Amino acid sequence: MADRAEIGVFGGSGFYSLLEDVREAKIDTPYGPPSDSFFLATVAGRRVAFLPRHGRRHTIPPHRINYRANVWAMRSLGVKAVISPCAAGSLAIGVKPGDFVVCDQFVDRTAGRSHTFFDGPIVTHLSSAETYDPVLRGLAIQTIRDHGITVHERGTVVVIEGPRFSTKSESKWFSDAGWEVINMTQYPEAWLCRELGMAVVNISLITDYDAGVLEGTEAVDAMSVLEVFAQNAERIQKVVLDLIGRFPADLDALGARAALGPTRGDGHAMSDEDIRLFETGL
């Protein structure tokens, strides 16, 4: 089917503008409209769905993104594994602008976002100990290294509500906690992927030192972030497209869907007849 995909990418038009035979598809969801149309193409023999999380003209601020609609629509296309690249700030001196970080943990400092599909009637508790898939993380690390880019093999991303940047005191607080990366979109995006049984990997492109991290540097502003991100856009595009070709042939073997098995908290035994609530709408 033309409107099916197995791998998803949350990213801007720079990814799919490089490809031929791109099909645009508008998708409706129970949670309202996604950020934009989905753009479907074939990369290295794999069907891929691209979605610009902020809209193709970058008109949706991070705190207004309809994360549930975006992720639900991605899953409805058949996607089983997601690449979630993002611009991010550094909270650690050793993590420099231009570096890539393949995060393995997140800390949620957002407020007011709709952040779960599990609103009942089946009570569900899914572990978030390892939200980012270790197999995909390993592939991402090797791909980035093969492209000659400085990569940090792990890191914790603290996700703030936005749209404002942190104060110096907040930056120092996050940095003192030992966290390496700061961003406004990884939560609940990555977590919602896990709730729908999709494996997810993050690549954080460091654009700046966050306010208060490095004495003597100017506080981060939107123009400087976009400038550095634009300078490195070609690098992340090449990495993501290369990474797609390295994904395992059997995405089910990653175990993201299977991880939903032991998560019911309503006291009833699982049976073969049980159907996940989200699956009834796909």
Q: Residues 36, 99, 133, 208: which is the catalytic one?
A: 208
Q: What is the CATH number of the domain that holds 91?
A: 3.40.50.1580
| Domain interval for residue 48 | 7-252
pLDDT one-digit tens code per residue, 147-171: 999 999 999 999 999 999 999 999 9
- Residue 17 dihedral angles phi and psi, to the nearest 5°: -70, -15
C-alpha span between 41 and 3 (Å, rounded): 10
C-alpha span between 111 and 100 (Å, rounded): 27
In a domain, 94, yes or no: yes
This prediction's pTM: 0.92
In a domain, 203, yes or no: yes
Burial status of residue 6 (CB atoms within 10 A of its CB: 0-12, 13-18, 19 or more): middle
In a domain, 276, yes or no: no
Quick one: pLDDT at residue 219?
64
Quick one: pLDDT at residue 268?
63
In a domain, 175, yes or no: yes
In a domain, 163, yes or no: yes
Q: Note if 210 is an active site residue.
A: yes
Tell me how many domains the chain contains.
1
Q: Is the dihedral of CA 135, 137, 140, 142 positive or negative?
A: negative
> What integer is the mean pLDDT of 46-64?
95
CA distances from 194 to 75, 101, 189, 201, 255 (A): 11, 20, 9, 11, 10
Average pLDDT, whole number, for the chain? 90
Q: Residues 210, 221, 250, 266: which is the catalytic one?
A: 210
Q: Note if 208 is an active site residue.
A: yes
